[in-house]
A and B are shown apart, each in its own frame.
Chain A
């Protein structure tokens, strides 16, 4: 047995042994192993991709959410502002109406007061006239109690008549 001359026996067994080893492994072991590894790698990659996608979607969803929230907020503000405006307007309108009514009522009242005043004044005038007549009657009655006086007045009136 020499160091650098190949032995026939070893070549023979090596060919057979390695051949069998290669055949068995290539038929029953390597395809299963490499396929399983590749499948798992694919699976992991798919899962990672899916996770990244979900993350992206979540991000989008979140931003969408925020956008929606912002829009809603804006809308709410707008609605609130509108409502305030409406309320203000309504208040103003109500005030205006009230004022108008008030004015109208005031005017009416004034007319009534005026009428009442006029009525009162007329009444007072009539009363005063009545009173004056009464007073004049009384005075006259007082005046004409005495005979001389009556004569005096008659004379006077006669004089006056004469003048006319």
Chain B
């Protein structure tokens, strides 16, 4: 009972903070809109959803407060590093580098034709054609590192407790994580991969689940160290999907490849002379991780957009009239709170889905189809019964 009460208390405190921070956020953004030009909700939302070179926290009395992050550029075998604060939010150049100002280069670092530092002419003609690699520690990269350190901290401490007290009841954080770990093992990995081969893939699936989950949850915290849209970034979800694709392909059994290039139970004229089925199946290898990538990216980004959209409503109406803005803010906050709760669920569902589908794909790859050889109909991946609830969730 005590435990339960504690949980309720903590979640209560958490949501209180949620509210306070969200109102802080609105105040900050509010001053921004009044100080500067007209409020552009579209730009406001996209700026919050995409990556940036600095970690903007708030704008206080016209001064933007943000954490400057290091810019690292690999330019023709030369490493250039400097603080992103040198850009002064796009108004200044540094050593010939500046934040993009044209439509194509918007927000990205561009190299200027002249090695200027400080104020520069925002002339598209000035942009040099030369390419360089941009490996800056952006907001998302920074958030990524924070999440990774958190994960390492959590799981190393848990591993230590397991080592210290073997064969005894779990305690604290260990209890919480053990439930999830056992759930992933017993409900996700073992049913999809099978008891014989699951142990090899369990570490990857567990890492994947907790990585996605913690980044989803960090994204819901409106202020530093959260608020970055890591799992709503296509590069991040793309890499995760790519790793799943590589694991699936490299652990594919003989029958898995046979299923792709010479699908049993399919009429011969679908394979010869035009290999329709092999092409479709080969495309399936790539569409599966592609769908994984897009699903996670779209769900998390959409959630962020809606949440910020509700906050933007206050300023859209506030611009019309101060009174309407204030009058509408409680309603907007209620919507925001509702969306926040929904996003909390989505954070878990999407982490679960990504892991479930990843382990299903791996399971399909490692499975021996010998038993199904005689089947008249080919079992398409999309008609897999386990997949059906996932489709509903989207």
Contact = CB atoms under 8 A, between A and B. Distances in A.
Nearest to B199: A34
Nearest to A47: B167
Interface in B344-374: none
B181 A7 contact: no
A150 to B, nearest CB: 150
B114 to A, nearest CB: 24
| Most chain A C-beta atoms within 10 Å of own C-beta, residue among B134, B141, B168 | B141
Given A3-B301, A21-B207, A33 B236 contact: no
B135 A1 contact: no
Contacts of A24: 152
Interface in B127-171: 133-138, 140-141, 144-145, 148, 151-152, 155-156, 158-159, 162-163, 166-168
B241 to A, nearest CB: 11
A18 B204 CA distance: 10
Interface in A37-68: 37, 39-40, 43
Interface in A1-42: 1-15, 17-18, 20-22, 24-26, 28-34, 36-37, 39-40
B116 interface: no
A18 B243 contact: yes
**Secondary structure of the B side of the interface?**
helix
A4 B144 contact: no
A131 B155 CA distance: 146
A21 B146 CA distance: 12
Interface in B105-123: 106-108
Given A18-B239, A28-B159, A39 B181 contact: no
Contacts of B178: 33, 37
B203 interface: yes
A76 to B, nearest CB: 50
Contact of B204 (A14, A15, A22): A22
Contacts, number: 132
Contacts of A7: 51, 108, 134, 138, 235
Nearest to B165: A36
Contact of B135 (A13, A18, A20, A31): A13
Contacts of A17: 141, 144-145, 148
A69 B199 CA distance: 54
B206 interface: yes
A39 to B, nearest CB: 6
Given A30-B206, A32-B162, A39-B167, A14 B181 contact: no
B328 interface: no
Interface in B171-196: 177-178, 181-182, 185
Given A29-B156, A34-B185, A11 B238 contact: yes
A15 B140 CA distance: 13
Contacts of A30: 155, 202-203, 206-207
B46 interface: yes
A19 to B, nearest CB: 9
A13 to B, nearest CB: 4
B223 interface: no
A105 B143 CA distance: 127
A1 B185 CA distance: 38
B135 A15 contact: no
B122 to A, nearest CB: 18
A13 B137 contact: yes
B135 A29 contact: no
B247 to A, nearest CB: 11
B234 interface: yes
A10 B233 contact: yes
Contacts of B243: 18
A11 B207 contact: no
A14 B144 contact: yes
A14 B148 contact: no
6 contacts: A4-B234, A11-B235, A13-B144, A29-B152, A30-B202, A34-B203
Top 8 closest pairs, chain A to chain B, by CB: A6-B235, A36-B162, A1-B107, A26-B203, A29-B155, A10-B235, A30-B203, A32-B159
Interface of A: 1-15, 17-18, 20-22, 24-26, 28-34, 36-37, 39-40, 43
Interface of B: 46, 49-52, 72, 106-108, 133-138, 140-141, 144-145, 148, 151-152, 155-156, 158-159, 162-163, 166-168, 177-178, 181-182, 185, 199, 202-204, 206-207, 211, 233-236, 238-240, 243, 301
Given A13-B137, A18-B207, 11 more contacts: A9-B134, A10-B144, A10-B233, A11-B238, A13-B135, A13-B141, A25-B206, A26-B207, A29-B155, A31-B203, A34-B185
